[in-house]
Amino acid sequence: MSKKNDAFGFETRAIHAGASPDPVTGARSTPIYQTTSYVFDDVDHAASLFNLQTFGYIYSRITNPTVAVLEERVANLEGGRGAVACASGHAAQLLAFFSLMEPGAEFVSSRNLYGGSITQFQHTFAKFDWHVHFVDPQEPENFRKALTPKCKAIFAEMLTNPTGIVIDLEAIASIAHEAGIPFIVDNTCASPYLCRPLEWGADIVVHSMTKFLSGHGTSMGGIVVESGKFDWGQNDKFPSMTQPDPAYHGLTFYETFGDFGYTMKTRAVALRDLGPSLAPLNAFLILTGIETLPLRMERHVANAGRVAEFLAGHPAVAWVAYAGLRSSPYHELARKYLPRGCGAVFTFGVKGGYEAGIKVVESVEVFSHLANVGDTRSLILHPASTTHRQLSDEQRVAAGAGPDVIRLSIGLETADDLIRDLDQALAAATRKSREAAE
């Protein structure tokens, strides 16, 4: 079939991209290549592989056939050129920055991130002498104002976790490009079914595949996807891409691999030397999850809409922050960037603050009280006492994780059951706070 790839629909690509039948056995499902290493034909073949002069497998820390199918699948769904999968979303962030940053380098990031990312950027990255400037992402100009000559990237989450802010992708991408640096978007909460940031000017997309891509709460995984459109040679900010690499016998990645040079660099140096490779079994489970991504996201969105409407009308609820609600300040941006829906992760405020919040999460029977999102199961969390616990009070409020905030990740159960469960939990929390008041 000579039809061009982009002529195939998303659903077809979610099932087929990267996964032609095994050339040797004809196995139709992607086999789990549970092997650490691969034989060389001869010494010259080995040398060609180590030098990156030929395509092929050496060692599963760097490449693995099952993982490669997943990489191509996600690259395809995001409309990217190539991708590097790794052990977790956190590893994906580390790898994505490793190919851009040098000691002393800086970047500007949205302050509305998953709590663990804030900690990673602020404290752990500082040990590499990389420094972050956090800004409120609701005003794109904030990113421009925070840029310094040492900045190598702008980073933001699309559909921020947990606050559900919809960022203006196009505007922020222009600011990054005017500064000659790439725009990195964490697309975990939207998934490529709901939003494809590369189509709006982003240059690199990262995911925690642990969430909606996998979709079943079974497997950790992360991925870095490159658009192939960023010109690394436009300035001297990215020596790691444009200068001979001493970690690779003087190879110049951008010149040698062109529009997938960043992917090759991220794999051949960052993944190779930092080592957070993805297990083949996890890649298989995530691939299986992605096959049903379109169906699942439709139902996640439909269920989330039902639950959000219910909460918005509940007397024990102070507010609901779901971009899918007409009352949301992000409704207009959501119509532009998320026409198929605003995902299934959102927050609400329970009247009665910290104590009431804890009572709600301890009273649910169908929702699971745990720290994850994007599962078939509905999940509930009180960020102030869990994921965002390590932040200061001020940071917590800025990140949308204040004392009364409850985060939901709406799963694929019967919507009425989810509503009934929250209703009884809110009743229990209200009873409790009324007793406390008496």
Partner 1 sequence: MSDSIDRENYSDDYILDILKNNRIVAMVGASPNWVRPSYFAMKYLQSKGYRVIPVNPAAAGEEILGEKAYASLSDIPVKIDIVDIFRKSDAVPPIVDEAIAIGAKVVWMQLGVRHEGAAAKAEAAGLRVVMNRCMKIEFGRLSGELSWSGINAGVISSRRRKLIA
Binding stretches for partner 1 (CB under 8 A)? 1-6, 8, 12-13, 16-18, 20-23, 26, 45, 48, 51-57, 63, 65, 67-69, 71-72, 75-76, 80-85, 244, 249-252, 255-256, 258-260, 263-264, 267
The number of angstroms, rounded, from the C-alpha of 167 to the middle of its chain's C-alpha atoms is 14
- Specify the DSSP class assigned to residue 59: B
Number of Cβ within 10 Å of residue 429's Cβ equals: 24
Question: Can you say whether residue 138 is alpha, beta or left, with left for phi > 0 and alpha for psi between -120 and 50 degrees?
Answer: alpha
Of 400, 374, 422, nearest in space to 193 by CA: 374
Q: For residue 406, which phi and psi values (nearest 5 degrees)?
A: -120, 130
| H/E segment holding residue 431 | helix 415-437
- Report the nearest approach of partner 1 to the CB of residue 92 (Å): 13
166-178 b/e (C-beta count within 10 Å ≥ 16 → b)? bbbbbbbbebbbe
Complex with partner 1: residue 285 or 333, whichever CB lies closer: 285
Complex with partner 1: residue 75 or 194, whichever CB lies closer: 75
- Report the nearest approach of partner 1 to the CB of residue 30 (Å): 12
Structure tokens at 106: 């800086």
Beta partners for 107? Answer: 132
Of 114, 83, 120, nearest in space to 283 by CA: 83
Q: Are 147 and 179 a contacting pair, CB within 8 Å? A: yes
- Report the nearest approach of partner 1 to the CB of residue 251 (Å): 5
Complex with partner 1: residue 70 or 418, whichever CB lies closer: 70
- Report the nearest approach of partner 1 to the CB of residue 2 (Å): 5
Complex with partner 1: residue 94 or 264, whichever CB lies closer: 264
Pairing of strands 151-157, 106-110: parallel
Q: Are 285 and 219 a contacting pair, CB within 8 Å? A: yes
Beta partners for 151? Answer: 106
- Report the nearest approach of partner 1 to the CB of residue 4 (Å): 7
- Report the nearest approach of partner 1 to the CB of residue 99 (Å): 14
Complex with partner 1: residue 265 or 388, whichever CB lies closer: 265
Complex with partner 1: residue 49 or 173, whichever CB lies closer: 49
Complex with partner 1: residue 239 or 329, whichever CB lies closer: 239
Q: Are 56 and 49 a contacting pair, CB within 8 Å? A: yes
- Report the nearest approach of partner 1 to the CB of residue 260 (Å): 5
